[in-house]
Structure 1
Amino acid sequence: DEFNVDGRTFYPGDDPYWEALDIHYWGTNNLEWYSPDMVNTGNGYLNITLDRTPWRGLEYKGGLMTSWNKFCFTGGYFVANVSLPGRSDVYGLWPAVWAMGNLGRAGYGASLDGMWPYTYDTCDVGTLPNQTRPDGTPINATINGDPGKEGVLSYLPGQRLSACTCSGESHPGPKRPDGTFVGRAAPEIDVIEAQVDAGTRIGHVSMSGQWAPYNYGYEWFNTSDNFITHQPGLKLNTYVGGAYQQTTSVLVDTDQRCYVESGGCFSVYGFEYRRGYDGYITWVSDDKPAWTLRGAGMGADERVELGPRPVPMEPMYMILNLGISPNFGAIDFDNLVFPTTMLIDWVRVYQPRDARNIGCDPPDYPTAEYINTYIEAYTNANLTTWVDDYKQVIPKNRLVDNCT
């Protein structure tokens, strides 16, 4: 999308590819309400604005737009030309360009419950709640995990649509020749989440993947074969995960002029990926490769009795947003200026000629029938959990339920 036509709006039904949400993104403790009137086109750009204005009981109003269930891609290069909001030396904003699997709708908790950020197709303890069996094993999943959770590795509820799902249970498919289900989920790959270091006052972006189930101690296999840097000065993020996600993140300094209020230039950010166990993700910053994660980096981890986590197999949709949250880091309330806007010149997806795969309901990873069956989970943002709120059942898992 080149965003060259001014005056476009993105309320539900306005656009064939995009929809701006009207929700509070409670999952990350955001201070703003996301409102569709904060997303539009003007001067040849997409404008996503965050303002300090009371709205729906919150102090701020921001914008979040997605292509969920309208435009998805499987494999390829997802890239955007962006001028980041604010100044490169004032911290606290949370602009992001990212992608998620179509079976989970960002901001709709029930749809994400037991789905995000899994990418898993093995039937083992990794599919179970907290990555432990009913007897509490493996012990390694209960130590050296999240320090805020007494060292427990995972607080996830288990993979809802796992490869262990019993036949006859509700599952989007497909099935393997042996009759077992392919594991399904809502993985996440982030092009950028931008922040300014509160100490150095230098702007950078986190270029990351989110994963579940988790390695022991959130330690992925970042050997020189699996973790490749293409630019000098890159730093592995010290944040490696917690009870609700594992992250593989590298911090990349940005062009300090490519902020709306610090020069106004644009910078190209993206990721190229090939799905599967032998796949890879290469992140691009300032139109140059920044770092690569090879699939083996998320290989099997015997320490917690896990199989490998493939580079996401699911059809992925695009998310563009500008919010503000203490969860993402310190906020310099005194020096942030509102309203503030992220400008996006264009968003593009490229795919190899021999690997075209566009669509949210591909035959090998279907989503439409399942989404339509449980449409309320995807359209009622007040439903935050699958069982307690939405009153659905978790499909039986053959590791713990008597079935085949």
Structure 2
Amino acid sequence: FYGTYLAETKKGEPVTRTKKEAFQADAVGAMHQLTPSHFKRMHTFRIEWQPGPGGRIDWFTKAHKVNETHSIEGDGKGTDWVKAFTLKDESLSSLMGSQIPNEPSYLIMNTAISSTWGFPYDTPAWCERCYDCSNSTCSCAFNPGFCNMMRKGVAMYIDHIRVYQSKDDSAHVGNPHTMGCDPPEYPTREYIKGHEYRYMRQPPFGFYDKLPLKEVKAGGGKCKVDNDCGCNITTSDSDPNETEPD
């Protein structure tokens, strides 16, 4: 839903959004209804990105097929990829005159799971509208269960994120596959050099930057036990005290 005004939800929709929680969507995204088991065990999701003219973004989730037309999702038994949503490039083009970006980009995982939509809660007229969980008078201003969640704490665990890129240019509908942040089709480094002021922080948002590009620091840490590197480790041939991931 890019460039879409998400108004009050209608009866039967999987999410509940009031008039006060309506908003303008200025980013590419999709909503998908989860099951209770999604909050109790690990699940795998997938997104496929085909940028440029004719491209598309596909969101997938794991489920297992009961028959040719029905799948069950979220019970932890899923082995089949089920497409949850598709956004085609022509949809963006006709709606906003834009395309799925194919310029060099960062990968930022912006993920959220909730049983309610937005904050603050759409409070009744008689509510004090205070936001203090220690004050019982304020309970009417919070979504049900919000204060209990804040007291007990809640966590969403991400086990791994894997990024693959096809070596076959025919799998890419636009330009050939590129690696790095300065491909020939988009000379990013030259552009930044010509517009340095756009990439340097200025008060009041931060101290003056001397340069727009900063050196990327390598970690240099050593793996001593499996948990250090998230994998099985073996001793290096060159240094018996240094270990490398398998």
Q: TM-score, normalised by structure 1?
A: 0.30
Higher strand proportion (structure 1 or 2) = 1
Greater CA radius of gyration, 1 or 2? 2
**Structure number with higher relative contact order (C-alpha < 8 Å, ≥ 6 residues apart):** 1
Structure number having the greater helix percentage: 2
